[in-house]
Chains A and B, each alone.
Chain A
């Protein structure tokens, strides 16, 4: 949040306790005096995270209820009110919500309630688009409305530093583009398959946009939201593409790229272009800042691999189904492991959690994937298991070696899960 900084910074109880322990150690070994320790500690104040979260949950629930109320109001299709009056009413609601947000946030210092109200404003704007569509009897299955919703609210997400609105914008874009792609491919034989290939590159593009954001201090705040939704989209698509029966039989033999409309290809190439451009841009920034390290740049290689996988999925250049199964399973498993490494190196839990969810899905998928015979399936699980165990043991040895080199003592961190 962007509120003015108070004299004392609110921190979690865990951080405060850890700081207390460290300060005690520093006092004991004479690094700092008792007064200095107290002065440092005095800069922080513990605010119960539960209370904080309670406020966020309540105002979010309130915001959702109010937003849904407005959408139902639109559904009621109240014809007694003239068209223009309804529009003016909506505009007043939208502007009122934004004004209330501004007032609460910056003039009364209620950042959380303000943040929730601005979310209502973004919802009402979306409802307004649907209302205008309905007034003029426009088709409801027009993804343009979702795209306009995205265009209208995305500047707001950056202006107010609201990740909730960013999520709303990302979901509107993902749904709108998916809807549009589905519409283009509805008459194409096996067209759904191309939708998965598209979501694979679209998710990669989102992830790549997040990677660029993470390299600018002022935009870093938004990076994780792009990356989380990008990962969910791309891993979800990848997961479906990893099933063997997609490639066996009818589908592969009848896959004809000439059936796909040009608009689909354009969208696909734009998404792939954004993905690759983002990776290159991030890479150039890292090179310039001399921050080129495997742990930071590893995900950029992932972006290139995923874009390539997207092209493989769409163009299907090989004639044997088993090749695709092998490629997509390796890429999927590689992505899962890569994310776990990335999460630990960056010290963030979210990539690890996403990876673990998809690892679970992956195991279930392969276990019940009846198109594989039992023997190869058992071999896959045993080899995979042994490989992971081996990597784990290797890492443990490396870690011990590093600790020994640094003459460090192993300390358990309570916050570690």
Chain B
């Protein structure tokens, strides 16, 4: 009984540690091996009482229109967005409800809403957390770009912010 209880304890602790380490590992690998792209963005609004300060970001690729495949998208469903480089910035050139193998770089988003040929998407990179009180520098900046790593599944991870042309140091 004593042995099984101890073993049970060890297994449960390992299970929890595995969840935390596994998730961190996945994120770290995605950051290290993902394709780096720079996205144009603008801050929206701040602060969350539970998790310190953060800046809400809205990307150039968050709202799409004038793309033919928008009509195939559905609310709350995945959207695959083809990205192509235009100077420093990467921008959306195509969108679809399914992955297209001919695409070199793509990012997966979720359809937030659809209205008259315009679609609003979220990519899970809309929040950037900063130390308490450091959010204002971002709020007042003229130009914000985000360096993102996109893994093979199209999931994006924020690597860093480029504020007025300089890497942001919190």
Q: Footprint of B on A, CB under 8 Å?
A: 71, 74-79, 83, 87, 90-91, 94-95, 98, 102, 106, 125, 128-130, 132, 134-140, 142, 148, 151-153, 155-156, 159, 183-184, 187, 261, 263
**Contact between B76 and A261 (Cβ–Cβ < 8 Å)?**
yes
**Contact between A98 and B12 (Cβ–Cβ < 8 Å)?**
yes
A79's contact among B11, B49, B113, B131, by CB below 8 Å, is which?
A: B131
How many A-B residue pairs have C-beta atoms within 8 angstroms? Tell me: 107
Q: A98-B13, A132-B24, A140-B51 are in contact. Are A184 and B76 (CB under 8 A)?
A: yes
**Contact between A151 and B19 (Cβ–Cβ < 8 Å)?**
yes
Q: B1-16 CB contact bits vs A (8 Å, 1 = yes)? A: 0100110110111011
Q: A102-B6, A136-B158, A137-B158 are in contact. Are A152 and B16 (CB under 8 A)?
A: yes
**Contact between B127 and A132 (Cβ–Cβ < 8 Å)?**
no
Please name all residues of chain A whose beta carbon is closer than 8 Å to the beta carbon of B27 when the two chains form the complex.
Answer: 132, 135-136
Please name all residues of chain A whose beta carbon is closer than 8 Å to the beta carbon of B19 when the two chains form the complex.
Answer: 129, 148, 151-152
**Contact between B23 and A152 (Cβ–Cβ < 8 Å)?**
no
B75's contact among A106, A130, A261, by CB below 8 Å, is which?
A: A261
B127's contact among A98, A128, A137, by CB below 8 Å, is which?
A: A137
7 of the cross-chain contacts (CB-CB < 8 Å) are: A94-B17, A106-B2, A132-B20, A132-B23, A134-B52, A139-B122, A155-B15
Bound CA span A140–B122, Å: 13
B90 proximal to A (CB < 8 A): no
8 Å CB interface, B44-76 against A: 48-54, 75-76
Q: A75-B52, A140-B51, A155-B15 are in contact. Are A90 and B75 (CB under 8 A)?
A: no
Please name all residues of chain B whose beta carbon is closer than 8 Å to the beta carbon of A137 when the two chains form the complex.
Answer: 54, 125, 127-129, 157-158
B130's contact among A77, A87, A135, A140, by CB below 8 Å, is which?
A: A77
Q: Could you list 7 further interchain pairs (A-B, Cβ under 8 angstroms) beyond the known A106-B2, A155-B12, A261-B77?
A: A75-B51, A87-B24, A90-B20, A132-B23, A137-B157, A142-B124, A159-B9
A interface: dominant SS: helix
**Contact between A76 and B52 (Cβ–Cβ < 8 Å)?**
yes
Please name all residues of chain B whose beta carbon is closer than 8 Å to the beta carbon of A183 when the two chains form the complex.
Answer: 76
**Contact between B20 and A75 (Cβ–Cβ < 8 Å)?**
no
Cβ of B78 to closest chain A Cβ, rounded Å: 12
Please name all residues of chain B whose beta carbon is closer than 8 Å to the beta carbon of A87 when the two chains form the complex.
Answer: 20-21, 24
Q: A77-B51, A137-B127, A159-B9 are in contact. Are A95 and B17 (CB under 8 A)?
A: yes
Please name all residues of chain A whose beta carbon is closer than 8 Å to the beta carbon of B127 when the two chains form the complex.
Answer: 137-140
B94 proximal to A (CB < 8 A): no
Please name all residues of chain A whose beta carbon is closer than 8 Å to the beta carbon of B2 when the two chains form the complex.
Answer: 106
A78's contact among B13, B20, B124, B131, by CB below 8 Å, is which?
A: B131
B117 proximal to A (CB < 8 A): no
Please name all residues of chain B whose beta carbon is closer than 8 Å to the beta carbon of A140 when the two chains form the complex.
Answer: 48, 50-51, 54, 127
**Contact between B16 and A94 (Cβ–Cβ < 8 Å)?**
yes
**Contact between A71 and B50 (Cβ–Cβ < 8 Å)?**
yes
**Contact between A125 and B48 (Cβ–Cβ < 8 Å)?**
no
B132 proximal to A (CB < 8 A): yes
Q: A75-B50, A102-B6, A187-B113 are in contact. Are A91 and B129 (CB under 8 A)?
A: no
Bound CA span A153–B19, Å: 11
B126 proximal to A (CB < 8 A): yes
Bound CA span A1–B17, Å: 26
Bound CA span A148–B51, Å: 18
Bound CA span A140–B15, Å: 23
Q: Of all chain A residues, which has the CB nearest B20?
A: A128
Please name all residues of chain A whose beta carbon is closer than 8 Å to the beta carbon of B126 when the two chains form the complex.
Answer: 139
Q: A139-B127, A148-B19 are in contact. Are A76 and B132 (CB under 8 A)?
A: yes
Bound CA span A152–B14, Å: 10
Cβ of A267 to closest chain B Cβ, rounded Å: 13
**Contact between B20 and A98 (Cβ–Cβ < 8 Å)?**
no
Q: A79-B131, A132-B23 are in contact. Are A102 and B16 (CB under 8 A)?
A: no
Cβ of B40 to closest chain A Cβ, rounded Å: 17
Bound CA span A140–B112, Å: 16
Q: Of all chain B residues, which has the CB nearest A125?
A: B16
Please name all residues of chain A whose beta carbon is closer than 8 Å to the beta carbon of B77 when the two chains form the complex.
Answer: 261
Please name all residues of chain B whose beta carbon is closer than 8 Å to the beta carbon of A155 when the two chains form the complex.
Answer: 11-12, 15
**Contact between B170 and A79 (Cβ–Cβ < 8 Å)?**
yes
Bound CA span A187–B158, Å: 27
Please name all residues of chain B whose beta carbon is closer than 8 Å to the beta carbon of A187 when the two chains form the complex.
Answer: 75-76, 112-113
Bound CA span A203–B38, Å: 46
Cβ of A70 to closest chain B Cβ, rounded Å: 12
Please name all residues of chain A whose beta carbon is closer than 8 Å to the beta carbon of B17 when the two chains form the complex.
Answer: 91, 94-95
**Contact between B51 and A91 (Cβ–Cβ < 8 Å)?**
no
Bound CA span A200–B26, Å: 36
**Contact between B5 and A106 (Cβ–Cβ < 8 Å)?**
yes
Cβ of B18 to closest chain A Cβ, rounded Å: 9
Please name all residues of chain B whose beta carbon is closer than 8 Å to the beta carbon of A142 when the two chains form the complex.
Answer: 124
Q: Of all chain A residues, which has the CB nearest B27?
A: A136
Q: Of all chain A residues, which has the CB nearest B111?
A: A187
**Contact between B13 and A95 (Cβ–Cβ < 8 Å)?**
yes
Please name all residues of chain A whose beta carbon is closer than 8 Å to the beta carbon of B6 when the two chains form the complex.
Answer: 102
Cβ of B31 to closest chain A Cβ, rounded Å: 8
**Contact between B131 and A94 (Cβ–Cβ < 8 Å)?**
no
Bound CA span A6–B158, Å: 57
